[in-house]
Amino acid sequence: MMNAISLALANPLPSGAGGSAGDPDRYMFFATRNRMPSGAILTAASGTNYVCTKIVVSTPQYKTRTFRFHLSGFASTEGGNSPQETVVTGTIGTPGNSVVADAMFIRAAGVFHQCSFAGANTVTVADQTNGAWTDELTIPDVAAESEIEIWLFYHTAVGEKIWPVYRIQKHRGERVWGAGDLATLLAFQDTPLADSTAALDTGYGTQAQPQYWGADFMVAKGDWDGRPVALAFVDSIGEARQEYSAAADARGNLGWLRRWLDKGGGPGRIPHCLIGMPGAGSVREYTGSGSTIATRRRDIIREIIAFNGNKWPFTVVANQMGQNDTSTSYSTWFNTNYRSLVTRIRAEYAGVKIVAFPPLGRTTITRTITLTSVGTVATATIASGLNGLATGQTVTISGATPTVYNGSYVITVTGANTFTYNFAGGTSPATGSITCNDLGLRAEYQVYGANNTWPADGTDASGKWRLRDDILGQTSACCDAAIDTYGAWVSPSAGGVWPSMLELASTTLTAQAGTDGVATYNQIVVADASLFRPEQTLHIYSGPDGIARLSTQVIAGIAGNVITYQGASAVVMPVGTVVRPAPSVGELSPLSFVHPQPVMIDRIVSGISQFEKLKFNS
């Protein structure tokens, strides 16, 4: 039997569908960092209604030289109606304002090269249109694995709208500048690392950071060596809902799928274009019109094919969508939601190979409880048993009336399904929908989300793990190959649930934080900050077992072993206090595990063999 290395040697990089290996005249998706327009639309303000964005993309493991870039005239929704392309500057069906691209340049090896649009240096992109392509631009060879800066200058009238695409990654040299005129912005070409304009550079490292217009689809010709190039259909789990600009790696990647595809191990980096966005809507992708349209991105790819000699700019489809399109009926979930997209992909790209990624899990880290009290001692009862709570642990109580029961408390386990804690005292029993949350300290405390019970029951009417089984089994031709994710993310101690904080690496404080419990601070010093990235949630614990929680914070930045919070704290924390990374956070609240936090993104990327990329081969 061949092992992964011998299999790789026996299967060299393949020819791509629709063109020969190494075709120098074929446009292919090439750039990291590409993102589909989606999210909150922006309004141009006085004094900054002229904008320049500088986005930095990284190139593949081969030379590139001829480029085309696309500017869209729409954006997609995020959340419930994703991926409908209905974020527009006007009202659906009634076009709003256009955006004028005053100039566009790419900068490679320190040299600016101006892009043109149908022979002109400017273009006006109308609302609710596919947008505009730059003309073919050939420059001196861009070295493999290097950087290209994309400078876009654009404006609207004050008060008019601008489509959202990119959050600026400042640590990678990206910038956004604003002014009241074009000439002021053009001058930044002489000082390309000048600070961004403060009024536009807000919310860095958070979901609140504004997103600015920029090139979304990017294709290039060059020394493509026939390696697979992926068009990826993704939802919020594939398109980095829980990582924002400050956490991007050196090549601009956010989220586990981009990082894994662009990792250099095994067969090498896989160029890719991800056409999804945060949300879950495989049943809507590549369908609709009017107020439900989700076909403009499909049509832009058709435009590429038309100017590409009828060749696709990719060789394989990666499908990560569908796992969150849950339904009470598995037949509806699999056949209507999941397979309908597959059918449309196969119809659009006849003969394409589809490689699917089975799902990650969805669990809750809360249990429903009842509360009674005598004096200042509250007794909690969990109907399903403790399953992992321990004396000395901090839990969070929510939803109780009187509200004095609510808060974070250190508990004492008193029975098979009971614990107590001290509080200020209140009417007994408490009423309301009361929950107890352990923030994911132990895997045993997690509860399977709806349709996520492990192991899957083959006779059940619903279940995410049945979807995994069908993907792995290629049921009803739902894919041609599958790259399993399960072993890369699951807890080592419990099936179908996320690793607990106790199962992940942690570090400790090497300097006391806080002085008197009153004065606030926003920095801590730890023994090993390499475990963390900006935007990651931290839970900080004391006690002999490191399970009494002192503080919960979100990282704003890391310098050496100094971590800066996005917020502030006054809690006194001595040397040796344990700092733990949160594995996941929920879509709408911290009460469920859905989207991987950075510690889990790294775990998933390292947990899926790079030789699985051989499945992308034609």
pLDDT digits (tens, 9 = 90+) for 124-168: 999 999 999 999 999 999 999 999 999 999 999 999 999 999 999
Is residue 137 a contact partner of residue 66, using CB atoms and an 8 Å limit?
yes
If 0-12 CB within 10 Å is exposed, 13-18 middle and 19+ buried, where does residue 375 land?
exposed
Mean of pLDDT over the chain: 93
CA–CA gap between residue 510 and residue 516 (Å, rounded): 18
Distances in whole angstroms, Cα of residue 143 to Cα of each of 112, 148, 150: 16, 10, 16
514-532 burial by CB neighbour count: b if 16+ within 10 A, else e?
Answer: beeeeeebeebebeebebb
If 0-12 CB within 10 Å is exposed, 13-18 middle and 19+ buried, where does residue 459 land?
exposed
Helix, strand, coil share (%) of the chain residues, nearest 5: 15, 30, 50
Percentage of the chain with pLDDT > 90?
85
CA–CA gap between residue 56 and residue 329 (Å, rounded): 44
- pLDDT above 80 (res 453): yes
- pLDDT above 90 (res 618): no
**Residue from 14, 13, 23, 22 nearest 310 by CA:** 23
CA–CA gap between residue 501 and residue 505 (Å, rounded): 8
pLDDT digits (tens, 9 = 90+) for 338-356: 999 999 999 999 999 999 9
- The neighbouring-strand residues paired with 218 are 69
**Residue from 53, 30, 18, 214 nearest 134 by CA:** 214
pLDDT score at 426: 95
If 0-12 CB within 10 Å is exposed, 13-18 middle and 19+ buried, where does residue 221 land?
buried
Residue 279: DSSP 8-state: B
**Residue from 178, 169, 135 nearest 43 by CA:** 178
pLDDT score at 1: 36
pLDDT digits (tens, 9 = 90+) for 153-210: 999 999 999 999 999 999 999 999 999 999 999 999 999 999 999 999 999 988 899 9
CA–CA gap between residue 587 and residue 601 (Å, rounded): 16
Tokens for 80, please give them.
């419930």
pLDDT digits (tens, 9 = 90+) for 36-77: 999 999 999 999 999 999 999 999 999 999 999 999 999 999
pLDDT digits (tens, 9 = 90+) for 291-349: 999 999 999 999 999 999 999 999 999 999 987 777 778 888 898 899 999 999 999 99
Is residue 142 a contact partner of residue 53, using CB atoms and an 8 Å limit?
no
Dihedral pair phi/psi, residue 343, rounded to 5°: -60, -40
pLDDT score at 459: 54
